[in-house]
Chain A
């Protein structure tokens, strides 16, 4: 069971920790050791930054042909969300009627179960996106 591999990403999966380049200011998710734009000049200058988790739906899809581990939830929606910090992330959309999802709608990150390694295995938690009440 790949316990360590999932444990390592907890700060990112639970709390959306990304990286800001100390050279050009661009923000990345997940964390990176160097900025693709600045390369060498960014080594050692990448700063940890916690993203707020708020943004707009950039694109989305309602998935019908879902993996077995999503059989209780299908059909479900997945989206690319453009966060306020300017970058995009990918996550499921929850707490919304599937026919109400629209490009541009405001969403915020919430913690939900992503899956589990079987009924006796570790449960993986991470961010999904719920509509933000204006």
Chain B
């Protein structure tokens, strides 16, 4: 059976902050930082937003674009590294808010920035095995970077939800492969407010090794090269890595462009690839082929070979905001307001 994406939805909070403003406070050349990372601005959640609210907004959009009964959704996974609770799943709150309880299985996932795509893989297995009719996989984050740290320039908030099934598929997932090793490039211990990272160790031995190997393995198994794809969506911790990675895989800038959002919204971690893919699907035509490779520190990559189907012509995309629409109506913050929103100020009580 063909398994793939039946519907999708996205959400990005409306607040933004620029690298220049962050650099101003920490005595760094923020403009240069921004240029070096190819990040113009990053999204900031308001105090009443979190991974639950972002996931719900994305999932509600996803549901509004199709007529799928909640009773037919048999699984829901939320992948994030900033779940509001350490123990109590984000997924149950989301499931309740989109009206698909109680006949489904739910779990929260964590795998740095690829927890969302891990959820897509799980749903594919459940659908393909006939265990469920539809599964929902959400990747969303409101990640934090330590004050003054390089990650503070990029860690942002956003997410996208995917309805995986085998009926009325708008984009078939032809194949998925993964490449996984124990590589400690970026981590956060329980109770720590901010993550730690290995500096430039996060490059070659981590991001590039896993994304590269995963992409090459996938294309080898599919018998494809870069030319066979209309778009490539790679994990994008900054605006530079995915461009460099794509080039080394022989993709050109046009193929990368539509799925590259980090320059405008920062690194939405588990939301990054799901949002990048949503951006591509927002304008995709039947027959277009997409290569997707996510990366999560720790480390691993999930790759997907996707073909857009005819069914996308009848897809009710206009029922929910497109990624482009989400990037409008933004509001820029100063660092103090950003710090207040992100809980970086020591409050009383």
- Determine if B49 is an interface residue (Cβ-Cβ < 8 Å): yes
Q: Is the CB of B97 within 8 A of A15?
A: yes
Question: Which of these, B84, B85, B331, B347, contacts A97 with CB under 8 Å?
Answer: B331
- Determine if A95 is an interface residue (Cβ-Cβ < 8 Å): yes
Q: Is the CB of B347 within 8 A of A113?
A: no
Q: Is the CB of A73 within 8 A of B46?
A: yes
Which residues of chain B in 302-349 are interfacial with respect to chain A, using CB atoms and an 8 Å cutoff? 321, 325, 329, 331, 340-341, 347, 349
Q: Is the CB of B97 within 8 A of A112?
A: no
- Determine if B57 is an interface residue (Cβ-Cβ < 8 Å): yes
Smallest CB-CB separation from B13: which chain A residue? A95
Task: Collect the chain A residues with CB atoms within 8 Å of residue B341's CB.
Answer: 72
- Count residues of A near B (Cβ-Cβ below 8 Å): 21
Q: What is the CA–CA distance of A15 and B97 in the complex, to the nearest angstrom?
A: 6
CB of B317 to closest CB in A, whole Å? 15
- Determine if B138 is an interface residue (Cβ-Cβ < 8 Å): no
Q: In the complex where A15-B99, A123-B84, A125-B97 touch, is A111 in contact with B47 (Cβ < 8 A)?
A: no
Q: Is the CB of A112 within 8 A of B325?
A: no
Task: Collect the chain B residues with CB atoms within 8 Å of residue A14's CB.
Answer: 93, 96-97
Smallest CB-CB separation from A95: which chain B residue? B14
Which residues of chain B in 71-87 are interfacial with respect to chain A, using CB atoms and an 8 Å cutoff? 84-85
- Count residues of B near A (Cβ-Cβ below 8 Å): 25
Q: Is the CB of B50 within 8 A of A111?
A: no
Question: Which of these, A68, A73, A125, contacts B47 with CB under 8 Å?
Answer: A73
- Determine if A10 is an interface residue (Cβ-Cβ < 8 Å): yes
Q: What is the CA–CA distance of A97 and B14 in the complex, to the nearest angstrom?
A: 11
Which residues of chain B in 20-68 are interfacial with respect to chain A, using CB atoms and an 8 Å cutoff? 46-50, 52-53, 56-57, 60
Q: Is the CB of B96 within 8 A of A113?
A: no
Q: What is the CA–CA distance of A73 and B15 in the complex, to the nearest angstrom?
A: 13
Q: In the complex where A72-B47, A128-B48 touch, is A111 in contact with B347 (Cβ < 8 A)?
A: no
Which residues of chain A in 80-131 are interfacial with respect to chain B, using CB atoms and an 8 Å cutoff? 92, 94-95, 97, 110-114, 123, 125, 128
What are 27 inter-chain pairs, A to B, with CB distance below 8 A? A14-B93, A15-B96, A15-B97, A68-B349, A72-B341, A73-B48, A92-B48, A94-B46, A94-B48, A95-B14, A95-B46, A95-B329, A110-B57, A111-B56, A111-B57, A111-B60, A112-B53, A113-B47, A113-B48, A113-B50, A114-B48, A123-B50, A123-B84, A125-B52, A125-B97, A128-B48, A133-B325
Q: List residues of chain A with CB under 8 Å of any chain B CB.
A: 10, 14-15, 50, 68, 71-73, 92, 94-95, 97, 110-114, 123, 125, 128, 133
Q: List residues of chain B with CB under 8 Å of any chain A CB.
A: 14, 46-50, 52-53, 56-57, 60, 84-85, 93, 96-97, 99, 321, 325, 329, 331, 340-341, 347, 349
